[in-house]
Structure 1
Amino acid sequence: MTATPASIKRIYYVLTVGNTLAASLIWGINTIFLLDAGLNNLEAFAANAFFTAGMVLFEVPTGIVADLRGRRASFLLGTLTLAVTTALYVLLWHLEAPFWQWAVVSALLGLGFTFFSGATEAWLVDALTATGFDGQLDAVFGRAQVFSGVAMLTGSVAGGYLAQLTNLGVPFVVRAGVLVVMFVVAAVVMRDIGFTPDRGGRPLAEIRRIVRDSVDYGLRVPTVRYLMLAAPFFGGVGVYVFYALQPYLLKLYGDPHAYGVAGLVAAILAGSQIAGGFLATWVRSLFRRRTSALIVAQVVSVAVVLLMGLVASFWVVLALIVVWGLLNSATMPIRQAFLNGLIPSRQRATILSFDSLMSSTGGVVAQPVLGRVADVWSYPASYVVSGVISAFALPFLALARAQHTPTDTAVTTTGAPLPTPEADQPTAEAAAPR
């Protein structure tokens, strides 16, 4: 069957839905699951920090796997790794294992997710470009976010109530099963299009070349660099804000065993994600520059997180969660389209993985620190500190805007001119093949 932009988008949506459904089955109960296993707040969020540390450690190596061996191979490895490590999580919970074992398995869980980050998105952009797509990437990512939100809504509600009706381990078992199904689906429908993996030559030499080029077209490009430097502040804090909502809302609700309410948190964010996906194109139309939309959203997000800590009311916090979710969901496709327009195809998966690495780095530091703040003072205090930390992303977003990159205002980004090291305009030396 001949690939078309429509068929590529359908496959991408299917992969996105499957991955999100599997992941979201435990999103509403993950922190409660860790606390039920005998960990305290510091240990629970430290285990989450080891998960993000695993993402930091493996982001670039798995991005290189995607660039060398293919995006499809990376996706398949991700599904298998996540299925096995999810099963190990259930085993540790059953045995009430010591913290160090949670730390090891959490890091391996992070490895599984790094096979997805960058690779699936790079597969989409390369395949769309190869099949002649001339639409807006913002709209494609927005539509994917809608489908992902539906899957998250389904998975989070199902996971929360499944845990309430059975036990906290069952959603993890179901998640592993869904991942096995996704492995089979991807093996059948996913093919590398518009990108030919370089399986010849010396792997170490290829890795050095990819890393070098990724630095040249990543951190050495001012706009990309500033976007990445902002990521640890909003990304790292965002992970804590989401997972701390589970025990925090149960505390505000007054029933520590109402796991359905914990699942409802993820469901609300899923609904916000659906709405945000629909709103992404409209939000983009309100601003001439993509960076302007990102800055405004970050300012409001900082205020919302601060209010979550200052107003200790169950219903008010629920309303703030909706706003926070809408902000993130409506602007994420804008950031994705902007970033993809700044990087070349050959290094796309590695650079996108490096961007994810920067976000994960923030989570490694922020989660145990904020978890400790929650232990010593309270969850509301940890949210106030979270808001302050996330504000540090704003100067970097402003610097990205100051570069006046053409892709900041471009309608389409798949065919936009690519920036080069230390200048967002092409030079003959930087454009030469290596």
Structure 2
Amino acid sequence: MTTQARRIQSVYITLILGNTLAASFIWGINTLFLLDAGLSNLEAFAANAFYTVGVVLFEVPTGVIADTWGRRVSYLLGTVTLAVTTALYYLMWQISAPFWAWAVVSALLGLGFTFFSGAVEAWLVDALHHAGYEGSLEAVFGRGQMVSGVAMLGGSVAGGVIAQVTDLGVPFLLRVGVLLAMFVVAGLLMRDLGFTPDRSAGARQAVRGIWSASIEHGLKNPPVRWVMLAAPFVSGVSFYGFYAMQPYLLELYGDPDAYSIAGLAAAAVAGAQVVGGYLAPHARRLFRKRTTALIGGTVASAAILGLLGVTEGFWVAIVLLVLWALVFAAEMPIRQAYLNDMIPSKQRATVLSFDSLMGNAGGVVTQPALGRAADVYGYGTSLAIGGAIQLLAAPFLVMSRRQGSTADVAVTVSGAPAVTDPPAPPDEKLQR
């Protein structure tokens, strides 16, 4: 590996570390924070759904920033936007703001994250190509996920403990501080390599071009299309499952004020992320095709959610939560590598952002629906319903597999073409 490639990966790891640490301060107590502000379960998860509405609305416009002004600019705008909206969250909690205010600020919070989605990942892959890196993408994404898990572990536990000894608002202030620090770090270290921003087109023309590219290299590209269509069923349920675990574990534990237990839920997911990130490249070698791992992971996750829905034991729920997070963490780098190997460099950020849009679109419907199910039937039943919804993603992944993309069997960055090859013969598609 070249010195430049090592430096690029170090910068990527630093960005992931800072982003995740900032976010994770509130992950363990976010649902409790919203409920403490006076929202019902339906309103709390509807507020989360408005976050995903913001993601859906702003993915394409922020894609213009990433592809015309650069991925670095996009990242810097993301840190500032998230810092401001997080501070507004704290203010609304202080004044017990009405639901409409939570909806608006949650949507703007989604705007902040759209500056990150696609841009950081595209920056990494293009820069590695520029540096002549020929290793496995799963290994790079896996290391990033391991670091993310460590940051999440520390941040979520700290957030839960700090909330318990102070109040639920302090972790949000800590998040603002870390985000501002990451603005400085990215400004000093992040440079666009292997990608030249195109500022020749006007904003309207750029949006039109980005939308067309998303369609052309996303939905019109069969193996990519089917992966994207699976995303709404997985992402929406994943968001809900993570945040519903906080009050559900407190319910099983028997103490609604044990905020550190809510932090434990996020910490369990974080630990699983570390292990899953380490296992991702090894898990990839167990299967000839990436889609085999993705299909198996989807089915396993759905089954675990079903078991979480019927358990009555706190520690059994913790074990199932770890298994659920472990499966998700192991398959995510494989999914990232699969998609990146099928997307041309020039449209990489655009298509990855569109993929994020597809996933978050599912959350717009899924989160409030499952939140309402929790109000009516309880958290356990809502998680079981979520498992059934997630299972609907499997047929779409099977369809992607049947396209016979070269990226399905690629193992290195240089080993896969930028654009998907023609479908393989039927007999090859049936191979594992």
> CA shift at 1:6, angstroms?
0.4
Q: Which residue of 1 aligns with 2:308?
A: 308
Distance 1:162 1:414 in 2: 46
For 2:141, the aligned partner's letter is F
Deviations along 1:322-342, one digit per CA (max 9) or x if unpaired, are: 100110101100000000000
Between Structure 1 and Structure 2, how many residues are aligned?
A: 423
Deviation, 1:204, is 2.3
> 1: CA distance between counterparts of 2:130 and 2:155?
34
Q: Is the 8 A contact 2:68 2:198 kept in 1?
A: yes
Counterpart secondary structure, 1:346: helix
CA offset at residue 352 of structure 1? 0.4
Please list, as runs of the form range in 1=range in 2, the aligned pairs for 1:154-303 lying within 5 A after superposition.
154-303=154-303
Question: Counterparts of 1:174 and 1:345 in 2: how far apart (Å)?
Answer: 36
* More off after superposition, 61-70 vs 391-400: 61-70
Q: Are the aligned partners of 2:404 and 2:423 in contact in 1 as well (CA < 8 Å)?
A: no
User: 1:90-135 CA distances to partner (integer Å, 9 max, x unpaired)?
Assistant: 0000000000000000000010001001000000000000010010
Within a 5 Å distance, the mapping from 1:20-99 to structure 2 comes to 20-99=20-99
Q: CA deviation at 1:376?
A: 1.0
Is the CA contact (8 Å cut-off) linking 1:60 and 1:350 kept in structure 2?
Answer: yes
* RMSD, aligned CA: 1.3
Structure 1 residues 309, 204: CA separation in 2 closer, same or farther (over 3 Å shift)?
same
**How far does the alpha carbon of each residue in 1:348-407 deviate from its partner, in whole angstroms, 9 at most, with x for none?**
111101101111011110010000011011111101111111110010010011111111
State the alpha-carbon separation in 2 of the partners of residues 29 and 9 from structure 1.
31
The question of whether the paired residues in 1 share the 8 Å contact of 2:213 and 2:351 is answered with: no
- Give me the whole-angstrom Cα distance separating, in 2, the residues matched to 1:414 and 1:331: 21
Matching of residue 364 in structure 1 with residue 376 in structure 2: no
Q: Percent identity?
A: 61
TM-aligned CA deviation for residue 248 of structure 1: 0.5
Distance 1:54 1:424 in 2: 36
Residue in structure 1 matched with residue 385 of structure 2 by the alignment:
385
Contact 1:407 1:413 in 2 (8 A): no
TM-score, scaled relative to structure 1: 0.96
Which residue of the partner structure matches residue 116 of structure 2?
116
d(CA) in 1 for partners of 2:268 and 2:156?
9
Deviation sequence 1:284-315 (CA, Å, 0-9, x none): 01100000000111111110000000112111
Q: Distance in 2 between matches of 1:359 and 1:70?
A: 24
Q: Which runs of 4+ in 1 moved over 6 A?
A: none
Q: Which deviates the most, 410-419 or 253-262?
A: 410-419
TM-score (norm 2): 0.96
Equivalent residue number for residue 431 of structure 1: none
Give 1:3 shift.
Answer: 7.0
Instruction: Tell me what 1:325 maps to.
Output: 325
**Which structure 1 segments of 5+ residues have no match?**
427-434
Task: Measure how far apart 1:415 and its partner are.
Answer: 5.6
Query: Matched residues in 1 for 2:173 and 2:337: separation?
Result: 35
SS at match of 1:347: helix
The match for 2:429 is none
TM-superposed deviation, 1:210: 2.6
In 2, distance between residues paired with 1:190 and 1:26? 26
One-letter amino acid matched to 1:355: D
Does the aligned pair in 1 maintain the 2:156–2:266 contact within 8 Å?
yes
Question: Where in structure 2 are there 5+ consecutive unaligned residues?
Answer: 425-432
The aligned residue for residue 396 of structure 1 is 396
Instruction: Verify the 8 A CA contact 2:71 2:123 in the aligned structure 1.
Output: yes
Deviation at 1:87, TM superposition (A): 0.2
CA distance in 1, matches of 2:211, 2:70: 16
> 1:195 aligns to what SS in structure 2?
coil
Contact 1:233 1:392 in 2 (8 A): yes
1:388 aligned partner, one-letter code:
A
Give the corresponding residue for 1:432.
Answer: none
> Does the C-alpha gap of structure 1 residues 309 and 425 become closer, same or farther in structure 2, counting only changes over 3 Å?
closer
Given that residues 345 and 418 in structure 2 are in contact (C-alpha distance below 8 angstroms), is that contact kept between their aligned partners in structure 1?
Answer: no
| Equivalent residue, structure 1, for 2:345 | 345
Q: Secondary structure at the match of 1:108?
A: helix
Q: Which residue of 2 aligns with 1:429?
A: none
Q: Which amino acid aligns with 2:251?
A: K
Larger CA deviation: 403-412 vs 29-38 = 403-412
Superposed displacement of residue 414, structure 1: 4.9
Deviation at 1:425, TM superposition (A): 6.2
Question: 1:418 is matched with which residue?
Answer: 418
- Counting only pairs closer than 5 Å after superposition, residues 128-147 of structure 1 correspond to structure 2 as 128-147=128-147
